Structure 1
Amino acid sequence: MRYIVGDTETTGRFAQDRIAEVAFLEIDRKLGVLPENECFHTRVNPCMPMSPEATRVNGLTDAMLRNAPRFETFVETLLTFLSGATLIFHNAPFDVRMLDAELHRCGLKSIEHYVANVEDTLALSRKAFPGERATLDALCDRLGVDRSARTTHGALVDCQLLGQAYPKLKKALWTNRELSETALAYAQVHRESRVLAERRKALQGKLAAIMPGAEPVDGPGFVISVDKVAKIDWEKLARENLTQEVIEQLVPRYEGSIFAFNVTDV
């Protein structure tokens, strides 16, 4: 499976806005960005003006995009590069919506038709660090990724940062999962131990009342002298739903002159 981080820069954040820059960078899912990783990056002529707000964020201007290729001129090359991969975005719903709009204008299907899967590191970040800020900057700071090269929200630099952060984010998620599973397992064992202790205490009380000479011991059951076994009131035991068969199951071993009654499995 190939893993590719992606980012789009746009003319704005509204439905009618267009893509102004795209970048997709193949990564190693365990090691992140490597020098030999393949990359697809280009500015895009959006065929509409950049909004002032978008220019302040990504630094792109109309003059910078005037001679850039239009989306439809490279879309086939882009889809070939992305084909069958897992795509990773930070805030995937936005990037996918913008890509889908461009693909539909070209008479093509949505991006998810061409790739294996789409992951959203914004959602993963909120899962790994609940209650914390989940921006790409905050994620990089939390995971120790150097973002000093990021002066604007450029598509390529954002891909490079996300490519470094992704393996560390997945590791944090696995660590949290292992801790959660350990805590759940401990809680389950504790709950089962409490239930078993209550059940054992109740059964020991019944046996002590019915079996003359039965003596509690530290652990799961009772000890009783052999000569006392013959005096057990089996009818009374039956009324307590403790049949002779059950009592015999409670005698796992014979040690000299005593029987050891184990009540853990009753």
Structure 2
Amino acid sequence: MRQIVLDTETTGLDWKGGDRVIEIGCVEIVDRKLTGRHYHVFINPERDIDAGAIAVHGITNEFLVDKPLFRQIVEEFEAFVAGGELVIHNASFDVGFLNNELGLLGRPALTAICPSVIDTLKLAKEQNPGKKASLNALCTLYEIDNTHRSLHGALLDAELLADVYLAMTRGQESLIMALDEPPPRLDDGSGGAAASVWPPLRVILASAAEQAAHDAVLAEIAKANKGHCLWIPPAPPAES
């Protein structure tokens, strides 16, 4: 399973109003392990950056003057992310900006070359309702060192988000490991090679009282739904 943790920085907050992408940072995860591969680029947006945005990420117009245009890096960017599942914090923001950049060049949308997108902002709100879900807040929650993050930066934030995402989904990793675990090797007592088999599962049947209680609950549900339940076959049509 290949995942790409992605972040962008932009000239402002609204691509519909003409704001553009100025930095892309990506970190690769394969089978829930950081591979060390990353993609990082600064981009000349061919327009000025809003003062409010500069205060957030510190990237200036002067710094981007000699940087490549998006059309000059689009193929290498697509090649890096293609086929990977995207992991993005507040995904609608970054995907909207990148789809706009791709659309300006007449290229397929980001979601056409990547199978799916995980929004860690949505995931964090589902896991911790009522708590702050910013990247800094999640770093604090999962004890990830972000003391070097004085300003936003696409690659830095992607690296931090990768650690946050792996911490948020650690239970899934345990489930995957359990499913992949080979069966135990049992000694057959003959001194020969041990057999790799799962032991028989213990089957516990419901008692008569438990079955009766279960049937009563189903009957109440069927009554409330006027018999429109999947476990009740429709009555045969009346003969004419």
Fold shared by both chains (TM-score > 0.5): yes
Partner of 2:10: 10
Question: Aligned partners of 1:45, 1:120: CA distance in 2, in Å?
Answer: 27
Q: Is 1:196 aligned to 2:210, yes or no?
A: no
The answer to whether the Cα contact below 8 Å between 1:29 and 1:167 also exists between their aligned partners in 2 is no
Partner of 1:57: 56
Partner of 1:247: none
SS of the aligned residue for 1:37 comes to: strand
The number of residues matched between the two structures is 181
Structure 1, residues 138-189: CA drift from partner, whole Å, max 9, x if none?
11110111101111010011011001111111126789xxxxxxxxxxxxx9
Q: Which amino acid in the other structure matches residue 66 of structure 1? A: V
TM-score (norm 1): 0.63
Partner of 2:179: none
Question: Aligned partners of 2:46, 2:38: CA distance in 1, in Å?
Answer: 24
Cα separation, partners in 2 of 1:29 and 1:170, compared to 1, 3 Å: farther
Question: Aligned partners of 2:67, 2:172: CA distance in 1, in Å?
Answer: 39
SS of the aligned residue for 2:8 comes to: strand
Cα separation, partners in 2 of 1:129 and 1:76, compared to 1, 3 Å: same
The answer to whether the Cα contact below 8 Å between 1:149 and 1:157 also exists between their aligned partners in 2 is no
Q: Which amino acid in the other structure matches residue 130 of structure 1? A: P
The answer to whether the Cα contact below 8 Å between 1:128 and 1:173 also exists between their aligned partners in 2 is no
Deviation at 1:37, TM superposition (A): 1.7
Question: Aligned partners of 2:103, 2:30: CA distance in 1, in Å?
Answer: 30
Partner of 2:36: 37
Return 5+ residue gaps in structure 1 as ranges: 176-188, 200-266
The answer to whether the Cα contact below 8 Å between 1:29 and 1:166 also exists between their aligned partners in 2 is no
Cα separation, partners in 2 of 1:65 and 1:47, compared to 1, 3 Å: same
Question: Aligned partners of 1:27, 1:150: CA distance in 2, in Å?
Answer: 22
Identity %: 34
Cα separation, partners in 2 of 1:131 and 1:62, compared to 1, 3 Å: same
Question: Aligned partners of 1:119, 1:168: CA distance in 2, in Å?
Answer: 15
Deviation at 1:22, TM superposition (A): 0.5
Deviation at 1:44, TM superposition (A): 0.5
Partner of 2:79: 80
Question: Aligned partners of 2:130, 2:23: CA distance in 1, in Å?
Answer: 31
SS of the aligned residue for 2:77 comes to: helix
The answer to whether the Cα contact below 8 Å between 2:125 and 2:131 also exists between their aligned partners in 1 is yes
Q: Which of 6, 19, 22 is residue 20 of structure 1 equivalent to?
A: 22
Return 5+ residue gaps in structure 2 as ranges: 175-205, 217-240
| 109-118 vs 89-98, greater mean Cα deviation | 109-118
Q: Which amino acid in the other structure matches residue 113 of structure 2? A: Y
The answer to whether the Cα contact below 8 Å between 2:85 and 2:117 also exists between their aligned partners in 1 is yes
Mapping of 1:84-95 within 5 angstroms? 84-95=83-94
Partner of 2:178: none
TM-score (norm 2): 0.70
Question: Aligned partners of 1:195, 1:65: CA distance in 2, in Å?
Answer: 73
Q: Which has the higher contact order (CA 8 A, sep 6+)?
A: 2
Question: Aligned partners of 1:53, 1:195: CA distance in 2, in Å?
Answer: 67
SS of the aligned residue for 1:152 comes to: coil
Mapping of 1:101-112 within 5 angstroms? 101-112=100-111
Cα separation, partners in 2 of 1:194 and 1:20, compared to 1, 3 Å: same
Q: Which amino acid in the other structure matches residue 11 of structure 2? A: T
Larger Rg: 1
Deviation at 1:30, TM superposition (A): 3.0
Question: Aligned partners of 2:131, 2:210: CA distance in 1, in Å?
Answer: 36
Partner of 1:202: none
Aligned-pair Cα RMSD in Å: 2.3
Question: Aligned partners of 1:30, 1:40: CA distance in 2, in Å?
Answer: 18
SS of the aligned residue for 1:13 comes to: coil
The answer to whether the Cα contact below 8 Å between 2:120 and 2:165 also exists between their aligned partners in 1 is yes
Q: Which amino acid in the other structure matches residue 36 of structure 2? A: N
Tell me which protein shows more helix as a share of its residues.
Answer: 1
Deviation at 1:194, TM superposition (A): 11
Question: Aligned partners of 1:37, 1:52: CA distance in 2, in Å?
Answer: 34
